[in-house]
Amino acid sequence: MDLQFIATAQEQVRRQRPLVHNITNLVVTNIVANALLAIGASPVMAYAKEEVADVASVSAALALNMGTLDERVVEAMEIAAKAANSKGVPIIFDPVGVGFTAYRNEVATRLINQYELTVVRGNAAEIGYLVGAGGTVKGVDSIDAGDDLTERMLQYAKVQNCVMIATGAIDYVTDGDHVWALHNGDELLGSITGSGCMLTGVIGAFIGVQPRFASRAQIAKASIAAITSYNVAGELAVLASKGPGTLQSKLFDELYHQQGESLVLRGRVEQLY
């Protein structure tokens, strides 16, 4: 598979510096912002219901993350999502912990059903729960997912008119017509808080440089580029680190110094069907 599109997308992010509006996990607000800055994007972390519509309307992408839910956060997410939809701003939704509590299930279902989401990204168990493939979630961590995950993801993406992403030892991406398996990354990334949350923000940046109302196929390719960029940086950061403490700072460094052509050489993307 020709991976030149990954280098092109990465260069677009650095050139265009997309503004990514994040309503994200309060535990990881700082590191999500740092990851976006490292890749050349411009993060804004706006949560107040009085301003989220204004911010979402002028952003290149809106990233919604359910990591630390409360009534005010959910209200802000809904106001921002409505504004983003009205302006054609793409939304990436990270249903953190869905399948763990009834409240998270209710919020995820409401956001998915009431708003046009461009990308839904979660770990394999979270996505498995959403698409009906089964999955066990412990807190915000994935324990397992069903055997027919990719097939159900494909059907779900087609019905919901979105791109579905399940991340794990292998990352799966589908636009409702095709499914790709992404083989980069390292298990040590799971040892730092917010590794998935950072990835959600990075995907938002790569989607944010696509044309407004881009096709699902275009969004899927941008998502593949974002995940490959992040995971290749993670692989190199692991090699340069001594453990979780140094891994986080090395990850920012690798994202900052990353060259598009190295992604073409190191990327491992497989189209399953």
Looking at the structure of the chain, the number of domains it has is 1
Residues 6+ apart with CB under 8 A from 25: 32, 65, 66, 67, 68, 96, 194, 197
Q: pLDDT tens-digit profile of 177-229? A: 999 999 999 999 999 989 999 999 999 999 999 998 899 999 999 999 999 99
Q: pLDDT tens-digit profile of 18-32? A: 999 999 999 999 999
Confidence (pLDDT) at 136: 57
201 CA to centre of own chain: 6
Domain that holds residue 172: 4-271
Q: Do 258 and 232 touch, CB atoms closer than 8 A?
A: yes
Cα→Cα distances 216→121, 182, 268, Å:
14, 18, 21
Q: Does residue 234 have a known ligand-binding role?
A: no
Q: Do 90 and 62 touch, CB atoms closer than 8 A?
A: yes
- CATH label of the domain that carries residue 236: 3.40.1190.20
- Residue 255's identity, in one-letter code, is L
Cα→Cα distances 42→122, 168, 273, Å:
23, 27, 35
Q: Does residue 132 have a known ligand-binding role?
A: no
Q: Does residue 121 have a known ligand-binding role?
A: yes
Task: State the Cα–Cα distance between residues 25 and 144, nearest whole angstrom.
Answer: 23
Q: Does residue 167 have a known ligand-binding role?
A: yes
